[in-house]
Amino acid sequence: MKMPFINHLHCFCNIVRQESMYKNFFITSFLSRATHLRTFLTVSKSNSITQVKRSLAKKKLLNSRLQLWSHKACSNLAFVPKHGPCPDELLEKLQDFINEATRIFVLTGAGISTESGIPDYRSEGVGLYATSEKRPVQFKDFVNKAAVRQSYWARNYVGWPKFSSFKPNITHVTLADWEKQGKVCHIVTQNVDALHQKAGSVKVTELHGSAHMVHCMHCSYRIRRAELQPLLTSLNPHLVHLSSQQIRPDGDVELSMDAVAKFVVPPCPDCGGILKPYVVFFGDNVPRSRVEAVKEELRRCDALLALGTSLQVYSAYRFILLAAELGVPMAAVNIGATRGDALLRVRVPARCGHVLPLLHLARDARTAA
The pLDDT of 70-82, averaged and rounded, is 56
The pLDDT of 265-290, averaged and rounded, is 96
Of the residues 8, 172, 196, 208, only one is catalytic, namely 208
3-state secondary structure labels for all residues of the chain? CCCCHHHHHHHHHHHHHHHCCCCCCCCHHHHHHHHHHHHHHHHHCCCCHHHHHHCHHHHHHHHHHHHHHHHHCCCECCCCCCCCCCCHHHHHHHHHHHHHCCCEEEEECHHHHCCECCCCCCCCCCCHHHHCCCCCCEHHHHHHCHHHHHHHHHHHHHHHHHHCCCCCCHHHHHHHHHHHCCCEEEEEECCCCCHHHHHCCCCEEECCEEEEEEEECCCCCEEEHHHHHHHHHHHCHHHCCCCCCCCCCCCCCCCCHHHHHCCCCCCCCCCCCCEEEEECCECCCCCHHHHHHHHHHHHCCCEEEEECCCCCCHHHHHHHHHHHHHCCCEEEECCCCCCCHHHCCEEECCCHHHHHHHCCCCCCCCCCC
pLDDT for position 117: 87
Q: Which tops the pLDDT comparison, 129 or 232?
A: 232
Residue 6, pLDDT above cutoff 60: no
Task: Say which range, 129-143, 189-203, 350-364, has the weakest mean pLDDT.
Answer: 129-143
**Banded model confidence at residue 124, pLDDT cuts 50, 70, 90:** low
Query: Is 241 considered catalytic here?
Result: no
CA-CA distance, 10 to 105, in Å (whole number)?
A: 23
Task: Say which range, 172-181, 272-281, 287-296, 357-366, has the weakest mean pLDDT.
Answer: 357-366
Residue 58, pLDDT above cutoff 70: no
Of 100, 92, 90, 91, nearest to 329 (Cα)?
100
pLDDT for position 256: 79
State the fold for domain 78-118+169-208+285-369: Rossmann fold (3.40.50)
Residue 186, pLDDT above cutoff 60: yes
Write the CB contacts of 121 (distance below 8 Å, at least 6 apart in sequence): 110, 127, 128, 129, 136, 249
Residue 32, pLDDT above cutoff 90: no
**Banded model confidence at residue 241, pLDDT cuts 50, 70, 90:** confident
The share of the chain scoring above pLDDT 90, in percent, equals: 60
Q: Which amino acid is at 186?
A: H
The pLDDT of 320-334, averaged and rounded, is 98
Beta-carbon count within 10 A of 241 CB: 6
**Banded model confidence at residue 97, pLDDT cuts 50, 70, 90:** very high
What digits encode the pLDDT tens for the residues 164-175? 999 999 999 999
The pLDDT of 179-206, averaged and rounded, is 97
pLDDT for position 303: 98
Average pLDDT, the chain: 80
CA-CA distance, 139 to 286, in Å (whole number)?
A: 12
Backbone φ and ψ of 353, nearest 5°: -65, -15
Residue ranges per structural domain of the chain: 5-73, 78-118+169-208+285-369, 132-165+214-279
Binding residues for Zn(2+): 216, 219, 268, 271
Backbone φ and ψ of 112, nearest 5°: -85, -25
**Banded model confidence at residue 78, pLDDT cuts 50, 70, 90:** low
pLDDT for position 50: 43
